[in-house]
Amino acid sequence: MIAAGAVVATGVATFWGVTGAQAGQPAPTPGDRLQIFYTAPVLARSGERVLVPVDAMCSTVRGTPCRALVTMRAADGLGPARATSVWASPGLRFDLSAAASQVVTDGAASSFVRFSIEARGAGGRASLPPAGSPLRFYVARSIPPVSVASLPFAHVRRGRTVLSLPWGSGPARAGIALGGGDLPAGPSSFDVDRSGRIFLLDTKQSRLGVFAAGRLVRSTPLPVAPRSDVALSPDGTAFVLARALDGRFDVTPVGPSGDAQSVLAAGVGIPGAIRAVGGSAYVHVFPLDAWLPVAGTQVRVDPGDASVVGEPLPGGRQLLSVVRGRRVRLGTVDDGRVRDAVELVFGRALGELALAAPDRSGGYLAIVHVWRDGPRPADAFQAVQVDGRRIVSTFLLPSRAYTSGSPQTAFRIGPDGGLYQMLTSADGVRVVRYRIGGER
Amino acid sequence: MKHRLLTIGIVGIALIGVAWARPSFATWSSTHCHGGSHLVSALKRVDARDYASVAVHEGYEWGGGCWNNDNRDDTPGAPDSGGEGPDCSGLVFKTWELRPEYGGEGFRWYANLTDVHGPYSAASFHSATPGLPFRDLAAKSRYATTYMDAFASLGHVGMIWSNAIPSQGGDYIVEAYNDANGTQVNVEDYRADTAYRAVRRKDWTPDCAPRCPVGGLVPRTVVLG
């Protein structure tokens, strides 16, 4: 008997040749009894240790746990892959430092490691990615650390309210679901267009409402569940992401005139945020932890690339972002190379990265949930504007929410350059605009 | 006359049939939930997670605690109707195999089709008092928690699904969310939210039992050369 955790096999492999899995194979169906969760490296510094924790969950059709054989394949750059297989065990992690250390050579400032994870057991077979090209993480020779000041939690910035709706039903109110012991569910997301109009996804009232100067000027009926998300493209198309209970998720484009178009099946998994780039839409999907292009929109990806690790940006670039411990790493992938990498080092514990965006000067704006434990617990969102190795500005934003929701659906940067936040209280919902800059 | 008798007979049978078939306030749970339960001596986190995985993709019912395994909500759009699914605290109660009496120690396994919620609300988990079979943890850091621990507020509770960390931070959480979203694994930021505390069931049996290495389980690192 081979003990859990013992390496079963190792050697040179192709990414898919060993298992016979092929690009284009169907994605796992919801309810599959074998799942893989992992911690994505995303952006590593050359020479540092790269550990990838892998959690393979296997259960039989009888509903009892089963053993799973996990295979990690990795290759530096476009080189040949190496593979190793091991029985899953609590705390299992793969050390990909060797692959990462070989990629930045010949004076290159950055490169990448391709990898895939597969698990097999009585519960079936699962792999990340389920099809297409392997996943990637990037390795940069230089990721300069920049310290971020810890601001007093009470010092949250006050913004200007651009939309305020009391709870209720009708054109001048926002819907809220307050059934039984449910988590209160209000509008799940919003976005801002070039004219400063607010697109509010009101799931209780099953509509995508467009508000100008605080008044509803257009409404598109959309029966979507709470925890949906919306992103506006520059041409005014709104992409609405909705998740079904069975684990599938889809995207409904709403044209500039407000007409809802055919629903696009977008994938299986835990959908995070949706973002629009030009006329295309991408969804951040977990546990793949990568961005999937939404077929049926104007996606542009390389053949075989089923997903990309960074948030797609105009011009084929990607925004890399990852939270680890008290650090946030940011970088831009341009033509396969990492540029403008930076590491924000906080003095406080971090929650989710609610928003990250590049600015026009090679810097970034990041909004991170910061928190403090202990006898006087507190939390807030901290906005950080960084340019090269310099913090341009940082300030706190309120975190209190009356309704449930993801931090990633609560913030947007408008085309006017302003930062917008959706806030909820017992009275209703507000969208607040903040100026960016000031305070350090 | 014969025709009239036949008509009366048919109407009578129909009326009796209607009365017989009348649901008399039958609910989904009263129709489907007839599972059992039994005492067990121990519980591993890996088994608890496997148990909760059956509830994933099923419905949500406030005060409920019964679900099947068909990956759909059998009572969609029907809140508070004796429908399918647990609520948040009911899911934790059954997954942690808590005893049905308040404060009861030990473990009781329930079939997923056993309609039981248990005596604990989300607030009970959030403000765990001495003598309960679970306790608040002093810290919420990743060093202090592990999978199948919970984060609880006064109104909601969900369990850590995996020690893997999403790239954008937060945690994978299994939770009975609400009637519209059912029971799912979501990425949540409860760890950073002041409203939530970390909670741990007492008396877990280590996953490695009965062959745990001396000194306890240490992370297994496999080097890919």
3-state SS of chain B?
CHHHHHHHHHHHHHHHHHHHHCCCCCCHHHHHCCCCEEEECCCEHHHHHHHHHHHCCCCCCCCCEECCCCCCCCCCCCCCCCCCEECHHHHHHHHCCCCCCCCCCCEEEECCCCCCCCCCCHHHHHCCCCCCCEEECCCCCCCCCCCCCEEECCCCEEEECCCCCCCCCCEEEEEEEECCCEEEEEEECHHHCCCCEEEEECCCECCCCCCCCCCCCCCCEEECC
Mean pLDDT by 10 residues, chain A (440 residues): 52 50 37 85 95 92 84 88 92 93 76 94 89 91 95 94 97 88 86 97 96 97 90 96 91 96 92 93 96 84 70 94 97 93 97 94 93 93 92 92 89 94 96 80
SS3 for A120?
A: strand
| Amino acid (one-letter) located at B27 | T
For residue A54, is it within any domain?
yes
Distance from CA of A175 to the nearest CA of B (A): 14
Q: Which domain-ending residue is among A107, A140, A173?
A: A140
CA torsion A216-A231-A356-A45 (nearest 10°) is 170
Query: What is the C-alpha separation between B161 and A47, in angstroms, rounded?
Result: 32
Domain total in chain A: 2
* Final residue in a domain of this structure, among A140, A158, A193: A140
Between positions 283 and 322 of A, the ones with CB within 8 A of B are 284, 286-287, 289, 321-322
Torsion of Cα atoms, A206 then A267 then B192 then A326, to 10°: -140
Closest-CA residue of chain A to B178: A182
Claim to verify: residue A162 and residue A213 sit in the same structural domain: yes
B58-71: average pLDDT: 93
For the stretch B134-171, pLDDT in tens is: 999 999 999 999 999 999 999 999 999 999 999 999 99
Q: Do A373 and B141 lie within an 8 Å CB cutoff?
A: yes
Set of chain B residues whose Cβ sits within 8 Å of the Cβ of A92: 219-220, 222
Phi, psi dihedral angles at A375 (to 5 degrees):
-65, -25
C-beta separation of A304 from A22 below 8 A: no
Report yes or no: B180 at the A interface, CB cutoff 8 Å: yes
Structure tokens at A440: 């350090």
Query: What's residue A7's pLDDT?
Result: 62
Decide: A133 and A308 in contact? Cβ < 8 Å: no
A51 and A113 assigned to the same domain = yes
CATH, residue A45: 2.60.40
What is the pLDDT at residue A301?
58
Which residue range is the domain that position B170 belongs to?
A: 27-201
Average pLDDT, chain B: 89
pTM above 0.80, yes or no: yes
Please tell me whether residues A215 and A348 are part of one structural domain. Answer: yes
- The answer to whether the CB atoms of B164 and A54 lie below 8 A apart is yes
Give the whole-angstrom CA distance, residue B90 versus residue A372.
29
At position B83, the amino acid (one-letter code) is G
Query: Is residue B219 assigned to a domain?
Result: no
Gap between the Cα atoms of B176 and B146, Å rounded: 19
Query: What does the pLDDT read at residue A15?
Result: 61
Same domain, A50 and A15: yes
| Residue A157 DSSP label | P
Residue B210 lies in a domain: no
Length of chain B counted residue by residue: 225
Give me the pLDDT at residue A29, please.
44
Q: Are A214 and A340 members of one domain?
A: yes
- Kindly state whether residue A428 falls inside one of the protein's structural domains: yes
Same domain, A109 and A186: no
A152 and A136 both lie in a single domain: no
pLDDT in tens, B165-174: 999 999 999 9
A367/A223 same-domain check = yes
Compute φ and ψ for A316, nearest 5 degrees.
Answer: 80, 5
Residue pair A407/A398 in contact (Cβ under 8 Å)? The answer is no
Range of the domain at A332: 148-434
Residues of chain B with C-beta less than 8 angstroms from the C-beta of A181: 62-63, 87-88, 121-122, 155
State residue B135 phi and psi, 5-degree precision.
-145, 150
- AA letter at A336: G
- pLDDT confidence of residue A6: 54
Q: What is the pLDDT of residue A302?
A: 58
Show which of residues 351-390 on chain A sit within 8 Å of chain B, judged by CB atoms.
351-353, 368-371, 373-374, 377-379
Kindly state whether residues A375 and A255 are assigned to the same domain: yes
CATH code, domain carrying A243: 2.120.10.30
The 8-class DSSP code of residue A98 comes to H
Residue A197 lies in a domain: yes
- B8 has a pLDDT exceeding 60: no
Most A CBs within 10 A among B43, B137, B222, B223, hence the mutation to make, goes to B222
Beta bridge partners of residue B65, listed in sequence order: B86
Helices (H) and strands (E) in chain A, counts: 1, 34
- Comparing CB atoms, the residue among A63, A84, A407 nearest residue B189 is A407
Report the range of poorest mean pLDDT among A48-57, A71-80, B9-18, B44-53: B9-18
Judge if A169 and A71 occupy the same domain: no
Q: Is residue A439 part of a domain?
A: no
Total number of domains constituting chain B: 1
In angstroms, the CA A285 to CA A247 distance is 11
Distance of CA B76 to the CA centre of its chain: 18
Q: Could you report the per-residue pLDDT of B77-135, keeping only the tens digit for each? A: 888 889 999 999 999 999 999 999 999 999 999 999 999 999 999 999 999 999 999 99
Determine, yes or no, domain membership for A74: yes
Single out the residue of B124, B151, B148, B153 nearest to residue B140, CA to CA: B151
A363 Cβ partners below 8 Å, 6+ apart? A340, A385, A386, A387, A388, A392
Asked if residue A182 lies in contact with residue A203, where contact means CB atoms within 8 angstroms, the answer is no
A178 touches chain B (CB under 8 A): no
- Does A369 map to a domain? yes
Q: What is the pLDDT of residue A32?
A: 55
| Residue A49 forms part of a structural domain | yes
What pLDDT is attached to residue A298?
A: 81
How far apart CA A97 and CA B223 sit, in angstroms, is 8
- Cβ–Cβ contact B63 with A under 8 A: yes
Is B154 in the A-facing interface, judged by CB distances under 8 Å?
A: no
Nearest CA in chain B to A405: B188
The verdict on residue A2 lying in a domain is no
Q: Is A177 within 8 Å of B62 when comparing Cβ atoms?
A: no
Find chain B residues with C-beta within 8 A of A323's C-beta.
Answer: 165, 167-169
Q: Which of A332, A260, A326, A250 is nearest to A292 (CA)?
A: A250
Q: Kindly provide the b/e burial profile for residues A144-180, where b requires at least 16 CB atoms within 10 angstroms of the residue's own CB.
A: eebebeebebeebbebeebbebebeeeeebbbbbeee
Residues A109 and A248 in one domain: no
Q: Among A408, A348, A380, which residue's Cα sits nearest to residue A157? A: A380
CB contacts under 8 A, A 105-134 vs B, are none
A221 and A349 both lie in a single domain: yes
Q: β-pairing, A43-45 with A135-140? A: parallel
Q: Which residues contact B21 (CB under 8 A, 6 or more apart)?
A: none
For A28-39, b where at least 16 C-beta lie within 10 A, e where not — what string?
A: bebebbbbbbbb
| Domain final residue, candidates A140, A157, A188 | A140
Is A350 touching B (CB cutoff 8 A)? Answer: yes
Sheet holding A198-202, edge to edge: A189-192, A198-202, A207-212, A215-221
Any B CB within 8 A of A180 CB: yes
Q: A110-114, A215-219, B185-189, B211-215: which range is least confident on average?
A: B211-215
Is B21 inside a domain boundary? no
